[in-house]
Structure formats: structure tokens, C-alpha cells
A and B are shown apart, each in its own frame.
Chain A
Amino acid sequence: MTNMQDQQSRNSFFRAGRQTVALSLIILLGLAGVVGLSRWMEAHRPPVDPNLEEEQLYVTGATTRRLSLSFSGLVADWYWMRSLQYVGRKLVRVEDNENLQGQKIELTENEFFNLKMLPALLDATTTLDPQFMVAYEYGAVMLPLIKKDDEAIALLKKGMAANPTSWKLAHHLGYIYWQRGDYRAASETYDAGAKLPDAPPWLAALSARMLAQGGSRQLAREMYGRIYDQSDDNQVKEMAVRHIMQIDADDERDTIRRILSEYSAHHAGRCATSWKDVYAGLRASRLKLDAATSAPLDPSETPYRLVKDGCDVDLDLQSQVPRK
């Protein structure tokens, strides 16, 4: 009797064990199948219609804010990340485009990037969270780049209405006016910003200088330097660095052009055949030179190239300095 009971319990133990193993196997195989199927479906998914991605937002920021209950901040974060990914996705798509390999394409080239939804996304972000300063700052820098100055101005004015004591928004609005060449409006905006609490003294100084030297490179360098110092956003800092590099490169090219024209004047109108011909002048001007070729280096450490039979200078195609 006991033996029979032992046998039965042993049998049921093994049966339960077999069942566990079988079920575990089914789960594992099922999971493997799901992974495989997902990969297959991902690989065979038809490409997304780019027009669908560019569809306007169905719901306005104000309605979304109303619908978001207490979670408007969280929804604003989601819109913010969506704005960044919208730009990022377009950048990746252009980088991955085989037809554009080797070409340097700036965000300003709308035929490639076409960031037309960005103003609406940033507007929704800031409507949901009117104190989302980084979103205003991002809009102030990005929207003028894609020729959406009016939207950028509207965004910043909305921000200033919601945050009347924020001098940083006045600084950004002044920057947009300055970029447009509207130095009077820029000066007035900086002046208004300078009167706000905690505004730094350089804001009032910029207001005064804006009218006198609005278009000067020196002022531009200072503007981008201030933007770099004030920003917490790496993309904005990167943009400021690129602009400063561009201004430095413009200054350097002016110096090199002067040296090339002096050389030409001393050699009966003949232009330099290589950088070695103007080596002395370049060194005297304290330009950074390539050790092997004596070519002057641009701010991204890429050698400049001689163009127009040695009569002029230009950035190399590999240079990281923006052209426009």
C-alpha cells in the first residue's frame, strides 16, 4: 500500500515537473516567436508617408491644456521631446540619405528639412507650460534659422506676456530683431529687458550699441557669446559656437585677402601659387598655420584653400565652419 502511494506521488511529481518544463518551453518559444515576428514586421513595414508626418496638430495647445487635467506640465514635456525628436528625425533622415552623402546641409535649407510643424509644436509646449523657458529659447534660435521669424517673435511675445519679469526672453527677442537687421526694435527690446529685475548690466549696454553698431561683427561676436553663456541647452550653445566660428572665419578671410592682394601688388598683379608664397605675411598676422603646407587654418582647424588662381581664399569643403 505504501509502495503504491509512493509510486503515485512520484508519478504526480514527475508529471508536474514535465508540465512545468513544457509550459516554460512554450513561454520561451513563444517569446522567441514574438521577437522574430516583430523583427519581420518591422523590416516589412511600408515606409511612412512623409505628408502624414507633416500633418498639422489636430488639437490646439489651449485645448490640450484643458484636457490634460493636472498633468499639463507632463504633457508639455511630451510635446517638448516630440519637438526635439521632430528636428532630430529630419536630421537623421538627411544624414542617412545616400544621395546627399558628403554634402554639408544646413538646417536653413528648407527643401531638405522642411520643419514646418516646429512652430506649432513649440507653441503647444509653451501653452501647456507657459514657464518652459528652454522651449522659448529653442524657438528663438531654431525658428529664425528655418525662416520662421514671425513665429519666433510671436512665441517670445507670448512668453514675455506669461513671464513679465524674465529678461532672458527680452534678450532672445532682441536677438531675433538684430538678426533681421531691425536694430531699432532690437535696441528697444534690450532696453525694456534691461529694466527688468535681475537683468545683467550688459543688456543696457547692448541696447545702446545696437543702434550705433548694429551690423558689426564685433557686436555679433558679443551677442553669440552672451547666448552661449546664458543658455543651458547644448544645441543652442553649439549654434552659438558655430556662429562665433563663422565670424572668426570671416575676420580671418579678410586678413588673408589683404595679404593676398598685397602680394599681388608687389608681384605685378600675379597672384600667389601656394600658401608658401605668402608665408611671411600670414605669420606676421598671427594666423594659425598648417605645419606641412603653411596653409592658414580656419576655426575648425581645417586649412583654407586658395581660389580664383590664388587671388582669393575660401573655406575648404570639409570645413566645419558654416558658410551662411
Chain B
Amino acid sequence: MSFVPLSSLLQAPTLAPMAHSFAPVVLGDHTEKPGIQLNEIRQFRVAGKGYVFVPAVTAIFGLDELGAEILGWLRPLDYQSATAIEAVQTPATRHAVLGEIVAAFEPRYHRSAIVGAIKDLRDIGVLRLVGFREEGLKAPAPKLPPMPFPQRTLVLNVANDCNLGCSYCFAAQGDYGTPKRMMSEETARRSVDFLLGNSGVHKSVTIVFFGGEPLMNLKLIRRLVDYANDAGVKAGKEVEFTMTTNATYLTPEVIDFLSENRIGVSVSIDGPKQYHDLRRTYKSGHGSYDFIRPRVLELLSRHKTRPIAARATLTHGVTAVQECFWHLKDMGFHEVGFAPVTSASQDEFALTRDEMWQVLGEFRQLADVYVEDALQNRHLGFSNVSNVLSELHAGVVKAYPCGAGLGLLGVGVDGDLFLCHRFSESKEHRMGSVQEGLDTAKQEQFLRQAHLSRKGGCQVCWVRHICSGGCHHEAYTRHGALHEPNAHYCEWIRTWIDLGLDCYARIMDGNPMFLEKFIDKRGA
């Protein structure tokens, strides 16, 4: 039956249109050669054994000889240097069909073993069979963590002042460039309430006493510890305390207080006197080593309820890592960690490129000692290695380099909230206050912009899920931009993670219980 318009005298044409699907014009060539294709991996050998690291999900596998040889055949190890960026496909990778690989290995291995090895490698995402509907492992799609994100740690600037004048201080010699002030009790209580109130599912929270020099406001700390313990009980949460101090205010009474209240202590000390006094001076320029040494020793002998850590900053001329390490260990510190100073490249205390690589060489030697101890079930206490082992063991896939702005916030002396303690008192990076609450719009904006997927340069780097671009403050100081990856560190970090993988493989295959005993317990 056909239809005609009322006003029309003509017959309508009788073509009946049929549904057609449109063939899109395809631009670009997406064809891959059929066969076996390596996914993004980093393969390495330790003591003759083969291993593979899968960056997409931070998985580490040991391989048997056949598996390692197959990978080496597809892409020879010497094509990758410790410092090279590995893209998903490098030109050096050989395309091969299954038959070719079997033919290459058949004289020495059974066909079924070869095929079995390839299947295993496929199953763990190391390679894929192209043309067989299979894909490489997908890294998790970028998205914001669920909001509101529970708070875990607050770093309180309890004293916006310091009695020392260390030349490299990121807090501008202790007061972040703002008027010297002590945090009031009211603000400190609000901070504790804020932390407990926003801790979500966390069963325990951490308060870090920071500054300036936090012990300049000991009175507040004493009161706050009591308040926080009470508040914690009421909220049904455990409250932990830690403190970073320059050690100049440590008297026996103070030490006892710290010990009784189980406050973990991190002492800022750079090594033996000749290194420490180069930078960690009073405002007069006089070194502080002689003054703090007896106090530190007193701390280490009296305070037994929590581990005491030494945090040493490496600067221009202060790169003798092993010397400093053993000196501090001999003093009695349980853990020693080293951090290269955060600097603009023209700062006089900035490490040169050569010094950075010297430091890495020293790290490597110390790491060897660490591994030897680990194989004997002893923990050396070299924090840098413990940290990287911890992340590798967990298989972290980090969208952000740290918890700043997420589960960790800095609180300024007046109660303002900042990304972390390094941004304390920086108006630009203010994210609300403990009085008004967290500015979630700002937080969301920060998290959006800081997400790893926004760092273009990181996308082809195989350590991206562990490094995630590096410290925001470091980037801000060096590059003037919060969200830039720390490009000046990239090669170094990749080499460092390579070293970490090496240590990890040796320990896991030599004494797997070590990691569970010493590293797993550390927590995120």
C-alpha cells in the first residue's frame, strides 16, 4: 500500500529505501604482522637466572632458562641499557611466528616445553599472540580515587620557627617565609578532630609533628598527645605519633616523654661532623654536630619504644653515602635514609649530575651489603632500599607519586591545609583549613591535574607506575610547575629501580621470608 499526499496529484516514486550500514573510511594502518609480539617488559638476569618485570601492572616473575632464552631471543638483553626508556615496541624486537621460535629452540628443548613456555609467558602478559584476538595487559584506566578520600596522616607545623639555619631548608630556615609563630592548642585540637573525623575506614591514623623545629613547641605537643589519645579512644581509632627533629632540644625529660608516648623519631642528621656541619648550622654559621651528638646518643639509649631513624640530606660535597651510613649506624640508629636535596639547579648546595651518579654508585655498594645481610635474615636498615623493595613486593601501580593531597595533608601553623608539609604556608597550594574543612574542589582539581596519565613524558617510561613522575615539591622547586615530571631525575630513577629489581630478585630467590618478616610489616 502506498501513501499519497492529500494535495498531490502525482504518484510518488516507489523505491523503497533499505537500511544500510555505513562503512567508515578507515584512515591509518592498524595491521600488525601476525605472530608473537612482546608486550612492554623489562627483562633482566641476576646471577645467571632470568627475570621479567611487567610495567603495566608492576609484576615481577622469575623465569626458567627456556623462558628467559625465549625472551632473549625475541629481544636481546643488550638492546636495553639500564637507562633506556622502553617503549611498547622497540625496533629491536623480532617478529616471529610460533614455528620460527620452535625451530630455533627445538634441538635443545622439547617442542611441548617450548610451546608451554610461550603459553606461560602469554598468560602472564609478557607476550601476546597477534591475530588471535588477544591483547596485552591493560593498565588500569585512569580515574580519580573514590572521594571523599580517607585521611590517614596529618603533618602539623607546630612551630613555625627554628633555632638552626640549615642552608638547604625548604622551609626557608624554619618559618616558610612567614612570621614566626607557634601553633595554638585550639588549632592543634581542630587538626586532630579533622583527622579523626575524615579518616574513613582507617583504623589507625598518624600525626607527624613537624616545623620548623617542633620541639620548640613542646608544651603544645604534650597537650596534644593527651588530647589525641583521648579523641582516638572515643573515635575507636588508634593514633600514632612521629616527629622529625634537629635534636638540639633533646633533654632526658623530653626523651622520656617521647618514649613513654611511643612517638617515633626521625633525626635530621647528615653524617659525621665534617659533613653535617657543612650545612646544618646555627644561624651564626656554627655547626650543630657537636651539640647534638650526645643528645642523639642519649635518645638512642633511652627511647626504646619505637625505631629511631636518621634522615640524611645529600648535598654538594656531601656524597660519601657509605661513610655517612656507617657513622650513623655506629651511633645506634635503627634505620638510615638518604635524600638528595631538593634544589633549584643554581643553588650552591645543589648536587651536580656527576655527584648524583656518584651517589648511585655508593647506593649500589650499600645495597649489595643489604642483600647479603638479608640473605642471612638480618635487616641492614638502609631505608632507601627497604622502600623500593616494599613497593616492588606490593606491586604498586601508582597514579600519584605519594599520598600528598590524598591521604596525607600538611597543616600550617594557623590550621590551613596544604598538599603536604613542604607546601606549608604556601597560599598557592592551600586546600582549605582544619577549621573550615578540606576544599574538595581544589583537591579534585589537583588530583585531576597531577594524575600520571597527564604527564606526557612518563607514558613510555617503564618505571612510571612506581615513580609516577616524582615528588610534586621537587618538580615545583626545580621546574616551577607542580605537575611536571621530574625529568632531571628520570635516568637516575630508572637505574635505581633496575638496582631495586636486582636486589629484589636476589632476596626473593635466596631468602623469601626476609621480605615478609621485615618489609611487609612496614605498611603503605
Asked if A pairs with B, the answer is no
Measured CB to CB, the residues of B under 8 A from A are none
